[in-house]
C-alpha cells in the first residue's frame, strides 16, 4: 500500500516497497461480516450525530486496508446517525497520492488523512539549514493537530508514537502500522526441521545454519538483489550493533547523536564500526542464490514460496506475507529477525514506522475526526486492522494473533525498538552520502569494503560542506 520502503539508517536505502501490503482478509471480511464484528454501539450519542455531516477520510490505495476502512466507516456511520463517511483514495504510483493529498489540504476538505510517518529524521536542527519536507513539513508548519492528550492515545506506545511523529512537545498523528524491514527474514519451517535446524539466535548460529544447508545441496538465501533487498542484512546488523546495551527508548537519541556526529565530522562511514558491519554482512550474503542480481522484488515472494525444497530463507519485509501465502497456501511459513551479532541480548527487533493517521488543523469536522480515531483505536477494531494489513501492532495490549507467522514476532516485541534513521543528508546530495552502495560491494558487486565506504565518506563530507 505504500511506495517502497526506504532503508534503515546507515546503508543506501533499499528500493521503496508498497506500505500496508496486505494479508488476505479473513472470510468474515470477504463476505461482508466484518461490519457486524466491528464494535459499534447502537444509538451512539455523538455531539455530531444531530445533523447531517460528511466526514472525509484520505487513504492511499491498498486493497486490504481500503476494504477494512470501508467496513469500519460503515460501522462508524451506524454508531453516528446522520454522519456519512467519504473515503478518498489514490495509488502511490506516479505521484497520484501526493496530488490528491495536496488537493484535499488546499481545499480544506479532509478530516482524517493517512501520511507516511516522518520520524525524527524529518526534523533536522536549525544549524543544518535543512527544511522539513513531506509530512514533517506539515507538522513543523502547524498544519496538523497535536493528538497527545486525546484519550485514545493511551492505547498506543507513546514512545513509539513520539519516534514516528513527535515534534517538540507534541504528537501529531496516530502511527497505526509498523513493519520489520531491515534484517527481516522469512523461512520455511518444514525445510529447516527436515535438516535439523532451529531459528538462530546469534549471527554465528545463522552462518552455521547456512553452511550446513549448503553442504547438503540446499541454497540457503533467496533475495531480490536486483532491487537491493540484500541491503536489509547490512541495515539489520547495523541497527542491532549500534543499539547494543541501550534501552529501546534510546533509539531516537542514538539516531540524533549519530546524525550530529556525522554532520560535525566527528564520525564517518569509514569508522571501524561500519567496516565491521560490512564484513559481517559479507559473511551472510555469500550464501545468496547466485542469480540473485536478476531477481525482481515484485516476483521474489511468489518464486520463493513456490519452491518448498530449496531456499529456506527469504530476505524481505514483513509486509509480504500476503504475496507469499497466495503463492503457496500450503507453505508452513515462519518469520524472524536476522540476529546481527553474537550477543543474544543485542539481537532485538527493529521496526519501521509506517501509515500514520493525522488530523489537519483545517479539518471541517475536527471533533468528529477525533471520534473516528477513537473508533479505529478500539482494540476489537484495531485487531482486525492488523489482520487485514499484516502490520506489527502499535498497541501494546493488542497482539497479531490472526496471522500464524506472527508467532516469533509476538514473543520478541517486548524489547523491540524503532529503526535507526539515516544521518541528515542535504537535498541534492549524492546517493552515496546516505550510506554504502551495497550493489557494488562484494560479493554481490566487485568492490572491496574499503572502496565502498571511502566513497560514501567522501560523498557525505562533500554534501555537508
DSSP codes joined into one string, 203-222: HHHHHHHHHHHHHTT---EE
pLDDT at 31: 33
The CATH number linked to 436 is 3.40.190.10
Same domain, 120 and 54: yes
Per-residue pLDDT of 232-246, as tens digits, reads 999 999 999 999 999
Position 390 in a domain: yes
Using CA atoms, how far apart are residues 347 and 415, in angstroms rounded to an integer? 10
pLDDT at 26: 31
Whether pLDDT at 16 is above 50: no
> Alpha helices of 286-434 — where are they, by DSSP H?
300-305, 321-327, 366-377, 379-389, 407-412
Whether pLDDT at 3 is above 50: no
Per-residue pLDDT of 291-345, as tens digits, reads 999 999 889 999 999 999 999 999 999 988 888 988 999 999 999 999 999 999 9
Q: What angle do CA 128, 182, 205 make, to 5 degrees?
A: 135
Same domain, 209 and 294: yes
- Best CA proximity match to 172, nearest among 117, 127, 126: 117
pLDDT band at 38 (very low <50, low <70, confident <90, very high): low
Position 6 in a domain: no
Same domain, 381 and 367: yes
Position 11 in a domain: no
pLDDT at 388: 87
pLDDT at 177: 94
Domain boundary among 407, 432, 451: 407
Same domain, 287 and 427: yes
pLDDT band at 136 (very low <50, low <70, confident <90, very high): very high
pLDDT at 25: 32
Local structure of 5: helix, strand or coil: coil
Per-residue pLDDT of 375-392, as tens digits, reads 999 999 999 999 888 889
Q: Which residues form the domain of 321?
A: 184-351+420-464
C-alpha cell at position 214 = 549448503
Q: Taking a C-beta distance cutoff of 8 angstroms, is the pair 250, 409 a contact?
A: no
Higher pLDDT pick, 9 / 448: 448
pLDDT at 39: 53
Specify the residue for cell string 490472526.
Answer: 402
Question: Average pLDDT in the 29-43 region?
Answer: 43
Specify the residue for cell string 490505495.
Answer: 61
Position 278 in a domain: yes
Same domain, 346 and 371: no
CA distances from 414 to 106, 191, 370, 409, 451 (A): 41, 28, 29, 9, 39
Q: Please state the domain count of the chain.
A: 2
Position 16 in a domain: no
pLDDT band at 63 (very low <50, low <70, confident <90, very high): confident
Mention every residue, 6+ apart, whose C-beta is less than 8 A from residue 272: none
pLDDT at 34: 44
Same domain, 49 and 60: yes
Cα 89 from chain centre: 20
- Best CA proximity match to 8, nearest among 458, 313, 434: 434
Whether pLDDT at 47 is above 90: no
Same domain, 334 and 240: yes
C-alpha cell at position 3 = 511506495
> Alpha helices of 195-320 — where are they, by DSSP H?
203-215, 231-242, 251-263, 272-285, 300-305
Position 115 in a domain: yes
pLDDT band at 18 (very low <50, low <70, confident <90, very high): very low
Same domain, 133 and 51: yes
**Sheet of 221-223: strands edge to edge?**
221-223, 313-315, 184-188, 333-337
Whether pLDDT at 29 is above 50: no
Position 196 in a domain: yes
CB-hemisphere CA count at 13 Å for 400? 27
Position 191 in a domain: yes
Domain boundary among 382, 407, 432: 407
As a whole number, the mean pLDDT across the chain is 89
Using CA atoms, how far apart are residues 121 and 419, in angstroms rounded to an integer? 11
Question: Average pLDDT in the 165-193 region?
Answer: 96
pLDDT at 93: 83
Question: Average pLDDT in the 140-150 region?
Answer: 97
Q: Taking a C-beta distance cutoff of 8 angstroms, is the pair 424, 258 a contact?
A: no
Question: Average pLDDT in the 433-440 region?
Answer: 96
Same domain, 268 and 309: yes
Whether pLDDT at 15 is above 50: no
Same domain, 346 and 363: no
Same domain, 211 and 330: yes
pLDDT at 13: 40
Are β-strands 221-223 and 313-315 bridged in parallel, bridged antiparallel, or unpaired? parallel
CB-count burial class (<10 Å; 0-12, 13-18, 19+) for 216: exposed
The packing angle between helices 158-165 and 251-263, to 10°, is 30
Using CA atoms, how far apart are residues 429 and 447, in angstroms rounded to an integer? 22
Same domain, 85 and 55: yes
Higher pLDDT pick, 259 / 43: 259
Amino acid at each position: 500500500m505504500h511506495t517502497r520502503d526506504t532503508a534503515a539508517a546507515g546503508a543506501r536505502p533499499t528500493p521503496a516497497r508498497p506500505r500496508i501490503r496486505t494479508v488476505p482478509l479473513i472470510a468474515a471480511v470477504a463476505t461482508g461480516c466484518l461490519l457486524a464484528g466491528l464494535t459499534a454501539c447502537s444509538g451512539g450519542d455523538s455531539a455530531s450525530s444531530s445533523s447531517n455531516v460528511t466526514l472525509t477520510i484520505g487513504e492511499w490505495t491498498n486493497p486490504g486496508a481500503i476494504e477494512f476502512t470501508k467496513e469500519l466507516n460503515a460501522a462508524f456511520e451506524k454508531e453516528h446517525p446522520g454522519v456519512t463517511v467519504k473515503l478518498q483514495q489514490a495509488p502511490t504510483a506516479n505521484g497520484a497520492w501526493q496530488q490528491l493529498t495536496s488537493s484535499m489540504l488546499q481545499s480544506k476538505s479532509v478530516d482524517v488523512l493517512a501520511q507516511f510517518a516522518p520520524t525524527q529524521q524529518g526534523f533536522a536542527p536549525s544549524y543544518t539549514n535543512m527544511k522539513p519536507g513531506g509530512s514533517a513539513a506539515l507538522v513543523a508548519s502547524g498544519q496538523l493537530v497535536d493528538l497527545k492528550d486525546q484519550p485514545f492515545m493511551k492505547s498506543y506506545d507513546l514512545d513509539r508514537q513520539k519516534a514516528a511523529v513527535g515534534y517538540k512537545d507534541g504528537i501529531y498523528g496516530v502511527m497505526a502500522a509498523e513493519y520489520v524491514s531491515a534484517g527481516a527474514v522469512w523461512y520455511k519451517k518444514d525445510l529447516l526441521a527436515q535438516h535439523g535446524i532451529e531459528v538462530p539466535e546469534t549471527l554465528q548460529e545463522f552462518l552455521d545454519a547456512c553452511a550446513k544447508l549448503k553442504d547438503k545441496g540446499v541454497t540457503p538465501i533467496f533475495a531480490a538483489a536486483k532491487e537491493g533487498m540484500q541491503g536489509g542484512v547490512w541495515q539489520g546488523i547495523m541497527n542491532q550493533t549500534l543499539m547494543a546495551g541501550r534501552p529501546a527508548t534510546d533509539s531516537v537519541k542514538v539516531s540524533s547523536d549519530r546524525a550530529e556526529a556525522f554532520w560535525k565530522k566527528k564520525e564517518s562511514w569509514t569508522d571501524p564500526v561500519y567496516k565491521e558491519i560490512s564484513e559481517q554482512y559479507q559473511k551472510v550474503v555469500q550464501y545468496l542464490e547466485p542469480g540473485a542480481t536478476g531477481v525482481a522484488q515484485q516476483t521474489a515472494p511468489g518464486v520463493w514460496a513456490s519452491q518448498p525444497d530449496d531456499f529456506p530463507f527469504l530476505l524481505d519485509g514483513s509486509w509480504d506475507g500476503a504475496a507469499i501465502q497466495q503463492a503457496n497456501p500450503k507453505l508452513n511459513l515462519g518469520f524472524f529477525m536476522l540476529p546481527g551479532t553474537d550477543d543474544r541480548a543485542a539481537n532485538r527487533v527493529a521496526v519501521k514506522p509506517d501509515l500514520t493517521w493525522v488530523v489537519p488543523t483545517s479539518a471541517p469536522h475536527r471533533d468528529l475526526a477525533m471520534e473516528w480515531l477513537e473508533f479505529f483505536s478500539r482494540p476489537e477494531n484495531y485487531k482486525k486492522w492488523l489482520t487485514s494489513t499484516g502490520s506489527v501492532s502499535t498497541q501494546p495490549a493488542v497482539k497479531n494473533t490472526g496471522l500464524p507467522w506472527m508467532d516469533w514476532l509476538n514473543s520478541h516485541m517486548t524489547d523491540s525498538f524503532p529503526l535507526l534513521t539515516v544521518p541528515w543528508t542535504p537535498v541534492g546530495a549524492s546517493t552515496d552520502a546516505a550510506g554504502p552502495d551495497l550493489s557494488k560491494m562484494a560479493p554481490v558487486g566487485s568492490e572491496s569494503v574499503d572502496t565502498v565506504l571511502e566513497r560514501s565518506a567522501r560523498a557525505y563530507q562533500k554534501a555537508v560542506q
